[in-house]
Amino acid sequence: MLQKDETKLEIFGFGDNDDDAFYCLLNLNKSPEGIDLKKLSMADPRKFDEVLNRMGCILLLKGDEVEELIKRNEIEDSDLHRGLYDLAVREEIIK
């Protein structure tokens, strides 16, 4: 099973305004340098998920989704990395 220290939480804005924050739990074994936003922005929208997967994205959530998880006490905002990693394990995204 992928351990927490083999993952990283990246938070970035994407789109014209960068208004929406995206939270990406990343597999550092696949992508030690992190998400290449320039390459991601040039990806064919029909293959967006495939490109994210190749970059090592385990879980991608929008800011409002993260806020909802915090409200439901699914994760704590004091350690989002730990919370999203634990959520991915509970949901069997990470096995």
Give the CA radius of gyration of the chain.
Answer: 13
For 9, other C-beta atoms within 10 Å of its C-beta total: 16
Q: What does pTM read for this prediction?
A: 0.89
Answer whether 74's CB lies under 8 Å from 87's CB. Answer: yes
Average pLDDT of the chain to the nearest whole number: 92
Give all strands (DSSP E) within 1-95, no chain letters: 7-13, 21-27, 57-62
Lowest mean pLDDT: which of 11-15, 19-23, 61-65, 80-84?
11-15
Q: Is residue 4 predicted with pLDDT exceeding 90? A: yes
**Alpha-carbon span 60 to 73, nearest angstrom:** 19
